[in-house]
Structure 1
Amino acid sequence: MDPEPNILSSALTPLPSSGPIVATNPIKSEFACSEDQTSSSVEGYLDSAATTPVPNVIADEVARVLREGFGNPGRGGHTRAISAAARIEEARRAVAGLLGNVDFNEVVFTRNATAGIDLVRRCWAEPMLGAGSAIVTTRLEHHSNILPWMQIAERSEVELRIAGIDSRGDLDLDHLRKLLVEGGVGLVAVTAVSNVHGGTVDLEAVVSLAAEHGARVLVDASQCMAHRPLLPRKLGCDFLVFSGHKMYAPPGVGVLWASSQAMQEMRSGPVGGGSVDWNDEEPSWREGPELFEPGTPSSDSIAGLAAAIEWRRRMSEVDPGLQDREHSLLRRAEAIVEETPELSIAGTPSRRTGCLAFSTGTIDPNEFAAFLDAEGIMVRAGHLCASPLVRTFDPRGLVRISIGCFNDEKDLDRFEDAVQVACSILA
């Protein structure tokens, strides 16, 4: 196995306060929607926190797999089936490399991060936690990292505890410590980056606190993987999930990484073809990731994820200033909102990654977003699948702007103009 690199703690380390912004981002050509590459499908798209666009080269690879790689992996001895199975394992190794050269047998393919979290609920939390146990999650979470734990608490004697936030909107580590000290905590489920205000959680502190009290840690890395991948083994967490569609892959594929020890503790969940072998009349459950991947996999989406990992690596090499540019564009968006009297920033987290949200004052947030859409700017509005956090700032909802690797100053110019027009007409 290749040597493991240092943890990519840039997800936990503030980037420089300023950096270069280019007026024309060459990465936009990767999303060209005309043969002469004079127009791009991502102009004005500021909603990558919801889903990222798929670069042309990745869409082409998915189409190629659908045309030529249609064998059913692991379900046949002919050439196409064998080739399809090899493609799945190549993708598994690509994900393992992305996560810091972890053991590829620790990588489970799912539909998305939501399915990965629910797999942990069903296959680990429900069988492992009983009366007197507790699960801790936080007010920063997407619904997908709250509802499964609420469901366990409703159906069993497991207690659910919610760690709060401080005045800036950051995770309140003192409150988390207090909840752990109360005892019985078997699992801490926490996001790496808020999908609302982009606040970046100090995961090293969370993992350290959890370890002191013997709790497993699940990290929802959905909002950070497109910007700065996390290395779970170095971080010391037990489970990590993310979705392909938030890192330039097609929808329909996600990842659950589970440490070898945690995976050994997991029980079978969804069952079906591929998760079992038959010995006489009795099933023999497979071990490793296949136990948790019943049924025919989404080979095209999985191939797309592998292609997206390679594409993102290549873009970072071609454009070494990519991360700084994303950060600078986000800081400019923050300045635009702060300088607009009708709007107010939701939270001032100590470190922001990828997105920010704002209240629209007397203007309905959905109406505000619809107006921006008419001006060619696409953002998200509402409760952002994170109602507990959003309602802390504005019960009606917020508007969120998020940055992708393809955005440039032109997108922010258009955003600024659209915001000013919207406020002048709607306020």
Structure 2
Amino acid sequence: MKFSLYTNQLKRLLPSNYQLKQSLTIILTRTTYIIIVLLTYYFILRNLPKDLNYHLEMAFILVMAMSILIYLPLVEKFTRKMRVKLLSEYLTDDAESYRQAIKQFNYDSLVKHVFPDMVKITESHAGTIALLNPLGTFDFHSYFRGRQKKLSPTKEIKVKQSFLEFLRSKKNGASLMDAIHSTEINNDFMELHANFIYPFLFREKVFGFLAVSNIPNTESKHTLSLLAGQSALAIHNHVLSYHITENKKYQKEAEYADRIQDLLETGKIPDLPGWSIRAYPRNHGNLVEFFQVEDGSWYFVVLHAGRTYQHIGIILSYILGVVYSQSRLRLLRGFSDIKQLITNTFQKLDWNNKYELIIGKIDFNEIYIIQEGKQFKVVRESNDEEVVASMGWKNKIPMEKGAIQILFAEQAILRFSLSDKK
């Protein structure tokens, strides 16, 4: 028993396979860069005329210029390739490689590539992933020492509502010790053969989870949090894409609307200091999403697709899911990026109908709004519903004069006011 304890402590001190490969990659690329620079300096110094004035300084300047303009970009490109090859494009910290991986981060990539990577980074010998399917149940895939397979329906694990509630409360993952006082949850861990489970959460809904045999360290948990968030979005978009395909000819709207009702709720309203934000009951033609951009500022988007069919909400939710995922990856920087992303997504969907939108930014004690669409209206409550935003302009709306409401066809969607809390 003591020997096993000492072994586990020693493993924690030693670098993991992922950390070791990362360190070796850095050492190899930087050593290569230094050797190339030194060889270039030696070659230039040897070939410069000895009688040339300041030949040492000239050699130094030439090497420095070549190192910055030629060698450094080549070494960075070589580093990216090494990291992708040795560490996986989904686990590397390199920004360009990570953005490239995000473009490929769909449902199939999640199953084939991301899932094994998540198991590896936890240093586990076995893992199981649960993925929400369009029917509302979970598909399971297992990974054991390099071998991966999908569990048959006869062996499918039943995911109880109590277990989903438990995972929803454990946003940073849960170990077996967290469930030791709950017999039912403890049995769920045993059924999954797991010592640690990390949920895939999006809009406070569990879209899947990863169950592994080892409890990861803090660094591994941080990487898992990034991959888990993007995994939830990939599953969310997969489910929505399924329903879009099924409803392509606008048939059986009511049947499918019931099936995806909980996927179309208004995005979670942030709790911002000094602000009171209220969302009114939505309809199938409008959707709302709140998110942060690269500099930490809070933005919101209100979308209307131009039709009132129930399944239009699926398309809107898909678009807002794309916007939300890009914001989580810190790829959006402001109004122009958000508007361009929404426009491009509508074009990819071959959407020929007119759509309307509002993009807003929540500042210290004011709101900036860009409005497109005649049916939207931004009014101030305290002054006989004075219209405070014009189409086509970036409107700055101070909040000291009273609360404002965003209306669509005279129906309230959102209300913003300054909070009395200090």
TM-score (norm 2): 0.28
Structure number with the higher strand fraction is 2
TM-score (norm 1): 0.28
Structure with bigger RCO (C-alpha 8 Å, 6+ apart): 1
Structure number with the higher helix fraction is 2
